[in-house]
Structures are given as C-alpha cells and as structure tokens.
C-alpha cells in the first residue's frame, strides 16, 4: 500500500512542472535554462521512482493475492473433504469443479490484476482532485457537477455485471457437470449410440454459457465508453470555462495548463476505475460462490467424544429410522438387528430394500433421524470419527483406484506401511501373481481410476488395501460381482483369509457369498424381515426362501 501511494502520487509531479516551465521559463523575460533542466531532471527522477514503486506494488500485491488464492484453494479442498455425505450428495461434481476453476480464477484476476491497479488509480485520482481544488476550487466544483451522473452510471453497470457474472458462473458449472458426467459414462454413450445426442446436449449447454458470457462482456465493454463520453463532455466544459478565466486574468497560462493536466490525470483513472470496479465485482461473485462451499457444515465429533482403546466389533441397530431427504419417505423404518463381534453377516433382499443404506450408517457417513447404532455398547454418535473409521475398511462393488502406482493404491489403506507389508497384503489378496508381471511391478502406474488394470485386478488391489488396513469391521459390497470365474475364485480365496475374526457386513447377491455368512439378514422395505442361517431360512420357507428359489434355483 505504501508503494501504491508513491506510484499513484508520482504522476502529479508533471502538474507542478507545467507552471514552472510556462510561467517560470517561457513567459519569464530571462528564460532561465537552468530552471528548465532542473524541472526536467526532477520529473525524470520522480517518474523513475514512481515506475519502480508501481513494479514493487504490483508484484507484492500479486504475490499476496496469489498466496491468498492458494490458501483458499487448499481450504476449499479441505472443506470439500470434510463435508458430510448428506450435504455432499446435494452437489453435482461440476459445481465443485467450477468453484475450483472459474470462480477462483475470477478472484485471482481481481486480487492480482484489478486490485493493485485500482489502488494506484485511486491514489492518482484522489491526489489529482485534491490538487485541482488547491489550484482553483471554482473550476473544480464546476467539474464535479458531472460526478453524480458518473457515479450513478458506474453503480448501475456494477450491479448488472455482478448479476450477469453470477449467471455466467452457473452456466460454467452446468457445462462442467455435463462434461464430467458424459466423460465418466463414455462406454454407455457409445453402447447406446448416443454420441450425436450428447454432442447436441453439450452444444446447448455451451450456447447457454456463450450467451451468458457475452452478456457480461457486453456490459463491461459498454460501461467504459459511456463513462468516457460523460467525462469528455465534462472536460470540454471545463476547458471552455478555464479559457475564460485566463482571458479575464484570474488564472495564468501555467495554472490553466496545470489544471488541464490535473483533469487529464483524473479522467484517465476515472475511465479505468469503471473497468476495475467491474473486475472487482466479478471477483466478489467468485468469492461469494467459493465461500458458499467454505460455509458448508463439516463432520464433527460431539463434545466429550471417546476413542475406545480396543474395538471388538459388535454392532447393534436399535429402532433406526433414516431417510436421505426430509421430504421423502424414510429408507429404513424402525430397523433393529444385532451383529456379534467377529460375525459374518450377509444383507440380502430386493433392490431398494435399504441394504446399502445400512452399511453406510456404520461408518457414520449418514446419521439416523431416529434410533441409534451401538458399537461395543457405545453409541456411534459419541465415538470419535477418526477412531471409528480407523477400525473400518470398505471393499466396494466397483473398485475405486487413484491414478498412482500399484504400491501407492495399496498403501492407501495404511500410509505408514512398509514395502514388505504392502507386498504381504498383495499376496494375501492374491494380487501378487499379476503385479509381478506388470512392467514396473509395484511401481507400475494404474492410470486414472485404475483403467490400465482389469476389473478383477482392480478388485484384488482394493482387497489388498483392506488387508493392509487390518480392520475390525469389514464392509463388502458384493466384491465378486461382474467378474470372470478365474478372478472370482482368486478373490473368494482372498476373502476366506481376510474374513475370519472380523465383523463383516456383506451386501450379497451370489449364493457362494451368502453361504459364507454366519447369519443372513433379509431386508425388505427398510426392515429386517428374517434373520438366521442359510439352511434355517430355507427351511422356514419365508421371504428368503422365496427369493432364493427365484434367483438361485436351477
């Protein structure tokens, strides 16, 4: 800010030079050339210092702005990572991407470019106006008759630019969401021959964005010439009035030129301020959208939350009712069930019965609206979240890998694991047989989402990750579905080594998986309809037996 003041005041030296040169040299009968040399040297030195100050101010302000944006980017990512799943589900991935990209870009432009120049321009404008009143207050008042009109025009354009920028940013989010969605579903698009349909849909989103962006551009481009025309009229009026003042002898020629120079110095910042205010208003729109994410709630522990020294793994549901949306019917209705420590439990039932919801409540991804879930007799709500999730590992139906190496994806289960522990986990998961055949072994990149590996290979890496974590509670979302028989046998063998001694919840569809369970919970319409072993439930001839007959009978 200090350098900005120096940079903004520097141009005012030129206004002092005009009366010295005109009145002191040109109109002076002695024409002292020495004074001219000193004036020119002074103007040169002042402008040199001013330019150096401008560089320093611009660099330091840009550095500060970029550091602020870098800090906000990390805070934005951190907040996104800690948002509860119930809140996260409300947002499209493209919405988050737009906040990280275009909205932060608006803030970057405002802080790194517009703000430094805005500050220097304001200093020059204020200095020019103050000097104008010092030189001739009457001329200055005459000029400022136009100030309210300029202020009204700038304020009106600022409001319109802010509103249009918000619409444009929403169109950007729509475009990003459309792109992300289609790229993730590329195979489905091709399988159904919908390339042209998706292209047309994307083109419509793109046209919406183009129209919104052009509206912002149009307002920004219109604001500057409108303000410039008003200022030009003011300048012409002041020139006429000042010439009259010189003719009647109230002002000298040097003072007239000095005043004109001050008017030019004030008009240039005034024109530029309109553009800078527009850029800053866009930055504020970006900031509003960024802070919309930063203001989201995060997962927190209740006061006095505990971290058990040892978790055995007994899970008990007591009258649990849960719905994803308050206005929608609940998914689980007064659900009660007990899972003993070390027990392998298969959750079976028709699609939409609530099986996935049950396993999502155990790691506290969601909180039940009624009832409670106990772990070793302690309410999950009273446990420290880090301690709870440290005892849990999840193997999803669709294995999710990160775009690192094989070793890095396995190490994700426990970040401090040694290479030997990683290799041991891979052997336990029957993954080593293919890992050693890869070009770089454990250092082979798996590609984005693990696309360089087959489905069975990705699943075995996912199981190795769970093995390395050594959890007390294991959640399997049908880990062997949609795999070839060879991969299924290898994964089944790995699970046989992984499951014993751990409390395991399995969303089961295959008969081989169901028979591996110690207990089967048949879920229907959000309730436990039947519970027991495979043989006992078949003998009972109830809902499970009917589903088994429909799905597994030969």
Q: Rounded CA gap, 57 and 62, in Å?
A: 8
pLDDT, mean of residues 409-437? 89
Give 237-251 pLDDT, tens digit per residue: 777 777 777 777 777
Q: Rounded CA gap, 388 and 55, in Å?
A: 53
- Length of the chain measured in residues: 554
pLDDT of residue 318: 92
- 99-108, 384-393, 467-476, 519-528: the lowest-pLDDT one: 99-108
Single out the residue of 282, 175, 294, 296 nearest to residue 220, CA to CA. Answer: 282
Q: Residues 244, 382: one domain?
A: no
Q: Residues 261, 209: one domain?
A: yes
* Mean pLDDT, the chain, integer: 80
Residue that the structure tokens 């459309």 belong to: 178
Domain assignment of residue 303, yes or no: no
Q: Residues 277, 367: one domain?
A: no
pLDDT, mean of residues 199-216? 82
pLDDT of residue 35: 77
Domain assignment of residue 449, yes or no: yes
The domain boundary, picked from 244, 261, 294, lies at 294
Strands 370-375 and 378-379: antiparallel
Is the Cβ–Cβ distance between 360 and 366 less than 8 Å? yes
Single out the residue of 509, 436, 506, 433 nearest to residue 466, CA to CA. Answer: 506
- 62: which residues sit within 8 A by CB, 6+ positions away? 111, 112, 113, 116
Q: Residues 225, 330: one domain?
A: no
DSSP state of 479: T
CA angle 24, 239, 36 (to 5 degrees): 20
The tally of domains found in the chain comes to 2
Q: Quick one: tokens of 376? A: 């070793």
Q: Residues 257, 325: one domain?
A: no
The DSSP code sequence of 103-163 is: IHHHHHHIIIIIHHHHHHHHHHHHHHHHHHHHH-HHHHHHHGGGHHHHHHHHHHHHHHHHH
Q: Residues 288, 343: one domain?
A: no
Q: Is the pLDDT of residue 99 over 90?
A: no
The domain boundary, picked from 294, 327, 361, lies at 294
pLDDT of residue 373: 93
Q: Residues 336, 230: one domain?
A: no
Query: Long-range CB contacts (< 8 A, 24+ apart) of 438-446?
Result: 438/406, 440/405, 441/406, 442/405, 442/406, 442/407, 442/410, 443/405, 443/406, 443/407, 444/405, 444/406, 445/403, 445/404, 445/405, 446/401, 446/402, 446/403, 446/404, 446/405, 446/406, 446/409
Give the three-class secondary structure for 467. helix
- 186: which residues sit within 8 A by CB, 6+ positions away? none
Q: Rounded CA gap, 403 and 200, in Å?
A: 31
Domain assignment of residue 20, yes or no: yes
CATH code assigned at 123: 1.20.1560.10
The domain boundary, picked from 260, 294, 328, lies at 294
Is the Cβ–Cβ distance between 157 and 219 less than 8 Å? yes
pLDDT, mean of residues 304-321? 90
pLDDT of residue 554: 46
DSSP state of 542: S
**Helices then strands (H, E): number in the chain?**
22, 10
Domain assignment of residue 197, yes or no: yes
pLDDT, mean of residues 339-346? 90
Q: Residues 277, 333: one domain?
A: no
pTM score: 0.70
Domain assignment of residue 241, yes or no: yes
For 446, the enclosing helix (H) or strand (E) is none
Q: Rounded CA gap, 282 and 295, in Å?
A: 20
CATH code assigned at 494: 3.40.50.300
Q: Quick one: tokens of 513? A: 């998986």
Domain assignment of residue 300, yes or no: no
Residue 150: band (very low, low, confident or very high) from pLDDT cuts 50, 70, 90: low
Domain assignment of residue 306, yes or no: no
Domain assignment of residue 67, yes or no: yes
Top mean-pLDDT range of 3-12, 176-185, 248-257: 3-12
Q: Residues 268, 326: one domain?
A: no
Q: Residues 338, 215: one domain?
A: no
459 or 157: which carries more pLDDT confidence? 459
Q: Rounded CA gap, 541 and 141, in Å?
A: 97
Q: Rounded CA gap, 36 and 40, in Å?
A: 6
Phi, psi (degrees; rounded to nearest 5) at 200: -65, -40
Q: Which domain holds residue 523?
A: 315-552
Give 450-485 pLDDT, tens digit per residue: 788 888 888 888 888 888 888 899 888 876 655 566
Q: Quick one: tokens of 434? A: 């293919």
Give 36-69 pLDDT, tens digit per residue: 788 788 878 888 888 898 888 888 887 887 788 8
pLDDT, mean of residues 329-358? 88
Q: Rounded CA gap, 370 and 365, in Å?
A: 15
Single out the residue of 274, 290, 270, 289 nearest to residue 158, CA to CA. Answer: 274
pLDDT, mean of residues 292-308? 88
The separation between the first and the last C-alpha atoms of the chain, rounded to the nearest angstrom, is 82
Q: Residues 259, 325: one domain?
A: no
- 110-114, 321-325, 522-526: the lowest-pLDDT one: 110-114
Phi, psi (degrees; rounded to nearest 5) at 532: 160, -175
Helix spans in 302-376 (H): 355-361
Residue 193: band (very low, low, confident or very high) from pLDDT cuts 50, 70, 90: confident
Q: Rounded CA gap, 221 and 19, in Å?
A: 37
Q: Residues 197, 335: one domain?
A: no
Other Cβ atoms less than 10 A from the Cβ of 320: the count is 24
């Amino acid at each position: 800010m200090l350098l900005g003041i120096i940079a903004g005041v520097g141009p005012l030296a030129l206004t002092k030079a005009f009366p010295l040169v005109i009145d002191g040299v040109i109109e002076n009968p002695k024409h002292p050339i020495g004074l001219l040399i000193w004036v020119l040297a002074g103007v040169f030195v002042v402008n040199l210092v001013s330019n150096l100050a401008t560089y320093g101010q611009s660099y330091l302000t840009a550095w500060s702005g970029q550091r602020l944006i870098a800090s906000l980017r990390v805070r934005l990512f951190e907040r996104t990572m800690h948002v509860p799943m119930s809140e996260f589900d409300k947002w499209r991935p493209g919405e988050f991407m737009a906040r990280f990209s275009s909205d932060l870009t608006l803030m970057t432009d405002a802080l790194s470019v517009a703000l430094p120049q805005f500050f220097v321009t304001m200093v020059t404008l204020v200095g020019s106006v103050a000097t104008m009143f010092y030189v001739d207050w009457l001329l200055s008042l005459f000029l400022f008759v136009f100030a309210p009109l300029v202020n009204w025009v700038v304020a009106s354009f600022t409001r319109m630019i802010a509103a249009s920028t918000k619409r444009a940013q929403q169109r950007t989010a729509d475009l990003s969401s459309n792109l992300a969605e289609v790229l993730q579903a590329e195979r489905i698009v091709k399988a159904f021959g919908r390339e042209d349909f998706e292209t047309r849909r994307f083109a419509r989103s793109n046209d919406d964005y183009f129209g919104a962006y052009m509206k912002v551009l149009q307002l920004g481009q219109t604001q500057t010439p409108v303000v410039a025309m008003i200022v030009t009229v003011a300048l012409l009026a002041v020139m006429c009035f000042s010439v009259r003042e010189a003719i009647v002898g109230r002002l000298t020629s040097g003072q007239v030129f000095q005043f004109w120079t001050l008017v030019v110095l004030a008009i240039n910042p005034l024109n530029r301020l309109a553009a800078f205010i527009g850029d800053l208003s866009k930055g504020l729109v970006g900031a509003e959208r960024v802070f919309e994410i930063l203001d989201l709630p995060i997962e927190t522990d209740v006061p006095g939350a505990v971290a058990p020294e040892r978790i055995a793994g007994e899970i008990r549901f007591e009258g649990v009712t849960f719905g994803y949306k308050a206005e929608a019917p609940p998914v689980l209705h007064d659900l009660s069930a007990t899972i003993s420590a070390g027990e392998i439990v298969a959750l079976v039932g028709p699609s939409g019965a609530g099986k996935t919801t049950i396993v999502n409540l155990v790691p506290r991804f969601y909180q039940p609206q009624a009832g409670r879930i106990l772990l070793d007799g302690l309410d999950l709500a009273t446990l420290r979240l880090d301690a709870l999730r440290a005892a849990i590992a999840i193997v999803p139906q669709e294995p999710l890998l990160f775009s690192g190496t094989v070793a890095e994806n396995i190490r994700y289960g426990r970040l401090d694991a040694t290479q030997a522990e990683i290799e041991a986990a891979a052997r336990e998961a029957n993954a080593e047989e293919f890992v050693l055949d890869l070009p770089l072994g454990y250092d082979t990149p798996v590609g984005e989402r693990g696309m360089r590996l087959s489905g069975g290979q990705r699943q075995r890496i996912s199981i190795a990750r769970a093995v390395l974590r050594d959890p007390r509670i294991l959640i399997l979302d049908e880990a062997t579905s949609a795999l070839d028989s060879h991969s299924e046998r290898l994964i089944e063998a790995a699970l046989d080594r992984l499951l014993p001694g751990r409390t395991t919840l399995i969303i089961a569809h295959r008969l081989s998986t169901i028979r591996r369970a110690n207990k089967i919970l048949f879920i229907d319409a959000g309730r436990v309809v039947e519970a027991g072993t495979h043989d006992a439930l078949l003998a009972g001839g109830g809902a499970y037996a009917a589903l088994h007959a429909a799905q597994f009978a030969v």
